Structure 1
Amino acid sequence: MNRLNTELNLADPDAFYEKLIETHNGLTEEESHMLNAKLVLLLANHIGDADVLGEALAMARAGVGGGDTAATAAV
C-alpha cells in the first residue's frame, strides 16, 4: 500500500509557488477557484491511487470548517 509522501519532494519549492501564483494572476476569484479545482483533478488523476488520494483528502480537510477533525484525519 502506498502512503502519502508529506516530506519535501520539490526540487525548488519557491519556484513552484511563484509559478502557482503567476498562474492565478489576472483571474477573478471564481476563475481562481476553477483553476484550483482543475489542478486538483489533474493531479488526482496523475496519482491514481485511491488510498493515497483518500489520505490526502483527510489531511487537507483536518482542521478546516470546524468539523470533526479527528474522524476526518483518520484514514
Structure 2
Amino acid sequence: MILNASQLNALRQRNDEELRKGRYARHGYPAHTIRDLLHTVEAVKKEKKKWKKLAQERGKALETVREAADSVLDNGN
C-alpha cells in the first residue's frame, strides 16, 4: 500500500498522540514501531533526492564531456 503525503501526516499525528499518552496509550498499539517506520520513510526520501541530484549532475558532466569530445573531433577534421 502506497501512502500519500496527507496520509503519512495523519499517521504521524495519530502516532504522536499515542506516544504522548505514554503508559495510558492503547494496549498493543505499535507506536514506537510506527515512529521508526516514519523515520525510515523520511530517510529514504532524503536518499532519493540525493541520488536524483547526483544523477542530474552526472548527466550534466557527461554532456560537457560529450561536447568537449565533439569539439576536439571537429577541430581535428
Q: TM-score, normalised by structure 1?
A: 0.32
| Greater helix proportion | 2
Whichever of the two has the greater Rg, that structure is 2
Q: TM-score, normalised by structure 2?
A: 0.31
